[in-house]
């Protein structure tokens, strides 16, 4: 293999390495991916860095590393060879992360190294599961500074990609957990039309809603917003939904459920995070009993005008001794009940003007007497259009209930 006349340029190498790894965007990082990286490193950078061969080792039982792949090998029969944990070159790689070997490094087995790739080699350890070592046989005349820079850069890039993949997997699992908590469809209530929707600003969010079985001829529902968004908010929202379901199963009064939930959140390690909640029971005769714990006051709109539901108390979490009150309202025939989170209210247009309460009331007025799914769709579409159809800045959730006229 002949060496390119060009000297390694760090910025150019960064670009080439980035281009290499981007070719496998979306590909799961497995043993096959590491084999590909070894092959491509030898092929693309071999001439410039005097790399003549590449090897991939994978950690097995008792700290042993097995040779599972090689390219440009001096002895193909070495595939499958096992390196014992007390072998000094292996210990040096595990200790330093990156290590460059020459014939003067003590502890090398001349016979073994000459079969694998020679006494001149470089190796890097990556934090995969299981751990893996990428090793490269070097031609005489290799440059220590260039190789040290190159192998550290490759190692950091691979480790970063591993972290990103783990985070992506965690978020995907969290999103699935959160999705499983949201009901697939509302519970029915005779004489009413019910619809709900939740759009997260990120892969997971802090908004939540739920429909719970109540007494015969009634519907229990909840809508809330855990402060912030992303994974921490989603985990807190999950705990709140679980607490509400447990309270409903025990047939506790809605005020008692909210009071207990507040004490649990206040005592938790996440006490610096808060939750707003609207929790209510709607009877088929139109009676609505509710607790509003620091949530944007829902609307009831109809022939009697617009009424807001604000009775309850402060948000859940800051003070464990907070006591919550129960409010009452009546949903008349033809009325529309809208419960939502501030993702809709705080939706801004290009000049910074929020959708706000006026935007909600305009939608409710324009859709008066229409079924709940139609009102909900119009609300989301109008709010999205207000923000020039861009992504939601915050988690956005709403429940709409209309009573048949």
- Which pLDDT score, from 0 to 100, does residue 4 have? 45
User: Is residue 344 one of the residues assigned to a domain?
Assistant: yes
- In this structure, the answer to whether residues 343 and 247 fall within a common structural domain is yes
| Residue 117 near residue 136, CB atoms below 8 Å | yes
Give alpha helix (H) positions in 346-400: 356-366, 372-386
User: Is residue 44 one of the residues assigned to a domain?
Assistant: yes
- In this structure, the answer to whether residues 93 and 113 fall within a common structural domain is yes
- In this structure, the answer to whether residues 225 and 145 fall within a common structural domain is no
User: Is residue 228 one of the residues assigned to a domain?
Assistant: yes
Q: What is the pLDDT of residues 164-214, one digit of tens each?
A: 777 676 666 666 666 666 777 788 899 999 999 998 777 667 889 999 878
- In this structure, the answer to whether residues 195 and 129 fall within a common structural domain is no
User: Is residue 2 one of the residues assigned to a domain?
Assistant: no
Domain count, the chain: 2
Q: Find the CATH number of the domain harbouring 266.
A: 3.60.40.10
Q: Is residue 3 over pLDDT 50?
A: no
**DSSP codes of every residue in 28-63:** --SHHHHHHHHHHHHHHHHHHHTEEEEEEEEE-GGG
* Beta-bridge partners for 220: 212, 281
- In this structure, the answer to whether residues 166 and 189 fall within a common structural domain is no
- Which pLDDT score, from 0 to 100, does residue 5 have? 42
Range of the domain at 352: 182-403
- Which pLDDT score, from 0 to 100, does residue 138 have? 96
- Count Cβ atoms below 10 Å from residue 391 Cβ, excluding itself: 9
Q: Are strands 299-302 and 336-340 parallel, antiparallel or unpaired?
A: antiparallel
- Which pLDDT score, from 0 to 100, does residue 131 have? 96
- Which pLDDT score, from 0 to 100, does residue 29 have? 83
Eight-class DSSP state of 331 = -
Query: Which residues does 364 contact at the CB level (< 8 Å), separation at least 6?
Result: 299, 301, 306, 336, 338, 375
- In this structure, the answer to whether residues 191 and 271 fall within a common structural domain is yes
Q: Is the alpha carbon torsion for 141, 144, 149, 153 positive or negative?
A: positive
- In this structure, the answer to whether residues 262 and 319 fall within a common structural domain is yes
- Which pLDDT score, from 0 to 100, does residue 178 have? 64
- In this structure, the answer to whether residues 328 and 198 fall within a common structural domain is yes
Which of these ranges, 76-80, 183-187, 295-299, 370-374, has the smallest mean pLDDT? 183-187
Average pLDDT over residues 270-297: 90
Q: Which of 119, 142, 173 is the last residue of a domain?
A: 173
Q: Is residue 371 over pLDDT 80?
A: yes
Average pLDDT over residues 397-402: 96
- Which pLDDT score, from 0 to 100, does residue 9 have? 67
Q: Find the CATH number of the domain harbouring 136.
A: 3.30.450.40
Q: Which of 152, 173, 194 is the last residue of a domain?
A: 173
- In this structure, the answer to whether residues 81 and 138 fall within a common structural domain is yes
Tokens representing 323 are: 């006591």
- In this structure, the answer to whether residues 217 and 160 fall within a common structural domain is no
- In this structure, the answer to whether residues 196 and 343 fall within a common structural domain is yes
Q: Is residue 272 over pLDDT 60?
A: no
- Which pLDDT score, from 0 to 100, does residue 169 have? 66
- In this structure, the answer to whether residues 107 and 71 fall within a common structural domain is yes
- Which pLDDT score, from 0 to 100, does residue 172 have? 67
User: Is residue 4 one of the residues assigned to a domain?
Assistant: no
Winning range, highest mean pLDDT, from 69-78, 267-276, 381-390: 69-78
Q: Which of 173, 208, 230 is the last residue of a domain?
A: 173
Q: What is the pLDDT of residues 61-70, one digit of tens each?
A: 889 999 999 9
């Amino acid at each position: 293999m002949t060496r390119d006349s060009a000297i390694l340029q760090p910025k150019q190498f960064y670009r080439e390495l980035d281009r290499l790894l981007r070719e496998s965007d979306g590909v799961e990082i497995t043993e096959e991916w590491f084999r590909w990286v070894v092959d491509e490193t030898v092929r693309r950078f071999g001439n410039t860095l005097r790399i003549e061969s590449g090897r991939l080792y994978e950690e097995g039982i008792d700290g042993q590393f097995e040779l599972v792949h090689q390219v440009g090998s001096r002895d193909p029969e070495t595939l499958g060879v096992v390196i014992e944990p007390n072998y000094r070159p292996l210990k040096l790689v595990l200790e330093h992360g990156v290590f460059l070997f020459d014939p003067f490094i003590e502890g090398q087995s001349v016979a073994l190294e000459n079969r694998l790739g020679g006494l001149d080699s470089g190796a890097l350890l990556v934090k995969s599961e299981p751990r893996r070592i990428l090793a490269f046989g070097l031609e005489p005349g290799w440059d220590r500074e260039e190789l040290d820079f190159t192998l550290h850069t490759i190692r950091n890039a691979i480790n970063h990609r591993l972290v990103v993949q783990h985070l992506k997997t965690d978020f995907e699992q969290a999103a699935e957990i959160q999705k499983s908590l949201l009901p697939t469809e509302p519970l029915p209530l005779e004489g009413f039309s019910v619809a709900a929707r939740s759009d997260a600003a990120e892969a997971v969010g802090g908004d939540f809603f739920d429909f719970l079985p109540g007494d015969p001829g009634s519907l229990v529902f909840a809508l809330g917003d855990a402060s912030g968004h992303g994974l921490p908010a989603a985990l807190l929202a999950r705990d709140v939904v679980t607490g509400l379901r447990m309270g409903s199963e025990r047939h506790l009064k809605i005020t008692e459920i909210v009071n207990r939930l507040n004490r649990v959140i206040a005592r938790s390690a996440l006490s610096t995070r808060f939750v707003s909640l609207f929790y209510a029971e709607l009877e088929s005769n139109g009676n609505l009993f509710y607790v509003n714990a620091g949530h944007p006051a829902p609307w009831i709109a109809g022939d009697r005008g617009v009424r807001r539901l604000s009775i309850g108390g402060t948000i859940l979490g800051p003070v464990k001794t907070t006591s919550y009150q129960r409010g009452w309202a009546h949903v008349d025939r033809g009325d529309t009940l809208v419960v939502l989170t501030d993702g809709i209210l705080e939706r801004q247009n290009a000049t910074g003007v929020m959708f706000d309460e006026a935007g909600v009331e305009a939608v409710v007025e324009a859709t008066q007497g229409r079924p709940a799914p139609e009102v909900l769709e119009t609300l989301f579409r109008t709010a999205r259009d207000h923000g020039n159809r861009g992504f939601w800045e915050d988690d956005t959730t709403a429940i709409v209930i209309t009573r048949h006229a």
